[in-house]
Structure 1
């Protein structure tokens, strides 16, 4: 089996302790990964701090950083197939989906390379004739990034591209379930010519992440994962006044009005929840359907769900892969049981697939769901769809916003006025109109409420990795009263 180490100060390091990472498709080990320690976290943070404060990275201009980002983008484009194969093997997502992600991810580096040397300050009109005032946007410092198992490469690069463009350095703790693609990325960052210490990886259990969050040498924690974990991270980081950005869970409403094209809406609803086996923070897990078309749309969705092909993620014909790990499978099955107990009507699925077994759970559709049920309020993070009827626009908006989350939403209608009117009233960081599950390097991504803090992607993201400094320049050169302000 291939072996992967921690990556500290420009070198891949083996360690005494290792663990095996499992292929969710066959539940067999396929690689060994070094297990980091609290001491490894400290060494990685110190390496990142040294690179930030001195040496080649600290001395680089923004234009020089941009050149490295473009080179890294080219390397990822070259190796997209291999990176997609590795990530699919590690987390069970479809190879064709992972390939699409890795082929697209170079754009994050190209886009942020373009921003790197455009972090311009302002000259501020002064209220004092003897002063010039201007601002600078300076890199924040050392970033601790903690990433999840569902899309480890994508969700790391959401943070990394903007942070490197701003001039920060990184220590990354990937999920213990899917660490391999992060180490593979470290190898390519080294190949691109980034100086030692700029990018570091410490693998291991949650204790490694806790050590990273609590380290006084960290200036910012960038986390993607479960909401409850995000709350704990924010509380721990507050002890050192460490900044945080949190991209957390969702219970996103997918709203279908009676005038929508039902065939298109059905495709969008199925893709919104069953793509990636529902293991995505922006999954459209609540399908709100206007009563006039509820039964017709439900019939279409159940028919499509029955035809979804489960199987080997590497097979181009496969449409849905397994759950990523055993704990996640158990969680999904527990929520299916809860939905039955609460009175939801099971229309399809609801069990481990009898033909494949293992970590394969059937795509599942529940009808007769109301918004007070746990299945409609809590994040399942699996292929479970809750169908909720509504009467009119006001009720749809009320149900959609009746959640502690606010990551994403969608509106399906052919009425352009309604489309924009509803989109403006939804409390969500991203709203799609007649589409679902689309992201871009150029558009901010993040949530309202318990879906998180801060934004990734777009121009907004690079600001999350900078400090703003005001500089006052005295112009007259004349002696001043030392006890007079200004």
Structure 2
């Protein structure tokens, strides 16, 4: 419940705030968003039509050209100023994230941390990632070759509701450094957070027209974004991701897709049980399990399973659920009735077919309309839906294993491949097992934060979990087109200076042999 005297939605989302954030946002119609904490309407927002989307792209294209002409160092400096604004105005940001997603404040802060890390990383490393690179030409010295990186133009971004700050501005930052403009379609229910991120980035120095935001229903606005974009960045469900990929392929444009997951954690026989149990709580129930990299399958060595589950269940039962705009709650609400329905269906079906509830297992309407207790299920077996379907809620299924080969095989027995975790006291062994897991990121003695928070390393999925990567060099180079400029000097790559075709061929043959002997690449 909300403590007496605490800030409420009416205190945070004022008419003045909504007017300020939606200034310049196109929309012929009006839509609204709501807070999961109570179900009450937060704000009325402009709703875009396909024509509004086309107009936003037209504006972005005009703004992109002068933005790309701004020196790279100056574009990167915008991110460093934005980094400081995010930290300075975090209370305002956290309030909106909580109200729009229903998550606990600490989990909202984790999202804010991720944005600050990305801003710092690309603000510092962006120029190095994008600098022109020299390559060995076909004839060394005579052929000078440079690889340049050109912006793609206008990036179309479709971002989800679960991490509205990180997955809107966090993904857009490297695109801006690379000289692109961006048109973002956030989820309507979390659009205010994305709009606040845009306001802060403009305050940090981004030209206003370079980042356009369009709000509306996914089936209406989403295809229009893909139809006009020069590149598409999408985060969401695997089903919708396939549709985005098909549309992008038809237009011969690139796309990056972070999609679903059914992520596994392996607790080996030699794991520190107390630390592993605490890590499992973080991995399974952060943001009420509503993140693509959350743990939904927990494999525990049979020799330690009973003790581990006792500690894990004890910690889970002690979690505090709450709605306040302050630190203190350990877990917040589900974000929508749809997520609550999936959670309820998975738990009820599993229990009906013989699974055992070790913790949780019931909704909590006494706290809020979309609250559900963090839940641990034991004895889960096919064909229970929870075995293979992504729940995207505070639910984890426990399985026992006898040896590590079995655990690896079980963890890999899914079409998804986004994130995984291994718990062991032997770090080398943990890394060896990590290399055998088919997942884009694997954490040793952490659930997901260690890999995701390392912004210099790529993050993304294998299999049905998507295409492309965010973070690191791949996270910014995907927003560019590689351009090779080759300058041939002194002599052409053809017979010249009186050489016959035969003599030219012989000369080139000798030259190729010499270059191999000199180990030239």
Q: TM-score, normalised by structure 1?
A: 0.93
In structure 1, the residue matched to 2:400 is 389
Q: Deviations over 1:40-99 (max 9, x none)?
A: 11011111112223x3x1321101211222222222222111011111111101123213
- Of residues 444, 448, 455, the one that matches 2:458 is 444
Q: Which runs of 5+ in 1 are unaligned?
A: none
Structure 2: distance between partners of 1:479 and 1:162:
39
Q: How far 1:311 moved relative to its partner?
A: 1.6
Matches within 5 A, 1:128-167: 128=139, 130-167=142-179
- Of residues 419, 424, 444, the one that matches 2:430 is 419
Matches within 5 A, 1:95-110: 95-103=105-113, 105-110=115-120
Q: Is the 8 A contact 1:366 1:384 kept in 2?
A: yes
Decide which moves more: 332-341 or 77-86. 332-341
In structure 2, the residue matched to 1:456 is 470
Structure 2: distance between partners of 1:338 and 1:219:
44
Q: Is the 8 A contact 1:158 1:457 kept in 2?
A: no
Q: Is the 8 A contact 2:102 2:332 kept in 1?
A: yes
Q: Is the 8 A contact 1:256 1:413 kept in 2?
A: yes
Q: How far 1:356 moved relative to its partner?
A: 2.4
Structure 1: distance between partners of 2:210 and 2:276:
45
Q: Is the 8 A contact 1:93 1:313 kept in 2?
A: no
Q: Is the 8 A contact 1:5 1:15 kept in 2?
A: no
Q: Deviations over 1:302-354 (max 9, x none)?
A: 22222111121424221111111112111211122232244322223222125
Alignment pair present for 1:190 and 2:202 = yes
Alignment pair present for 1:83 and 2:93 = yes
**Are the structure 2 counterparts of residues 375 and 397 from structure 1 closer, same or farther at C-alpha, using a change threshold of 3 Å?**
same
Q: Is the 8 A contact 1:224 1:246 kept in 2?
A: yes
Q: Is the 8 A contact 1:6 1:14 kept in 2?
A: no
Decide which moves more: 368-377 or 231-240. 368-377
The answer to which structure has the higher helix fraction is: 2
Matches within 5 A, 1:309-348: 309-348=320-359
Q: Is the 8 A contact 1:256 1:411 kept in 2?
A: yes
Query: How many residues are aligned here?
Result: 479
- Of residues 414, 417, 429, the one that matches 1:406 is 417
Alignment pair present for 1:476 and 2:490 = yes
Bigger Rg, which one: 2
In structure 2, the residue matched to 1:369 is 380
Q: How far 1:108 moved relative to its partner?
A: 1.6
Q: Deviations over 1:196-252 (max 9, x none)?
A: 42111001111111111122xx11110111111111111111110121100111111
Structure 1: distance between partners of 2:126 and 2:424:
39
Decide which moves more: 284-293 or 434-443. 434-443
Structure 2: distance between partners of 1:339 and 1:239:
41
Structure 1: distance between partners of 2:495 and 2:57:
45
For the residue of structure 2 that corresponds to 1:414, the secondary structure is: coil
In structure 1, the residue matched to 2:125 is 115
Structure 2: distance between partners of 1:290 and 1:25:
38
For the residue of structure 2 that corresponds to 1:223, the secondary structure is: strand
In structure 1, the residue matched to 2:7 is none
Alignment pair present for 1:20 and 2:29 = no
**Are the structure 2 counterparts of residues 408 and 6 from structure 1 closer, same or farther at C-alpha, using a change threshold of 3 Å?**
farther
Structure 1: distance between partners of 2:25 and 2:214:
10
**Are the structure 2 counterparts of residues 138 and 348 from structure 1 closer, same or farther at C-alpha, using a change threshold of 3 Å?**
same
For the residue of structure 1 that corresponds to 2:251, the secondary structure is: coil
- Of residues 435, 439, 442, the one that matches 1:428 is 439
Q: How far 1:168 moved relative to its partner?
A: 1.2
Alignment pair present for 1:48 and 2:56 = no
Structure 1: distance between partners of 2:468 and 2:416:
14
In structure 2, the residue matched to 1:213 is 226
For the residue of structure 1 that corresponds to 2:155, the secondary structure is: strand
Q: How far 1:459 moved relative to its partner?
A: 2.4
**Are the structure 2 counterparts of residues 50 and 5 from structure 1 closer, same or farther at C-alpha, using a change threshold of 3 Å?**
farther
Q: Is the 8 A contact 2:419 2:440 kept in 1?
A: yes
**Are the structure 2 counterparts of residues 33 and 196 from structure 1 closer, same or farther at C-alpha, using a change threshold of 3 Å?**
same
In structure 1, the residue matched to 2:73 is 63
Q: Is the 8 A contact 1:6 1:183 kept in 2?
A: no
For the residue of structure 2 that corresponds to 1:13, the secondary structure is: coil
Q: Is the 8 A contact 1:6 1:12 kept in 2?
A: no
For the residue of structure 1 that corresponds to 2:438, the secondary structure is: coil
Decide which moves more: 408-417 or 39-48. 408-417
Q: Is the 8 A contact 2:237 2:259 kept in 1?
A: yes
Q: Is the 8 A contact 2:300 2:399 kept in 1?
A: yes
In structure 2, the residue matched to 1:270 is 281
Q: Is the 8 A contact 1:122 1:134 kept in 2?
A: yes
Structure 2: distance between partners of 1:39 and 1:6:
23
Q: Deviations over 1:373-428 (max 9, x none)?
A: 43121110001110011110000000011111111111111123421221110111
In structure 1, the residue matched to 2:180 is 168
Q: Is the 8 A contact 2:420 2:448 kept in 1?
A: no
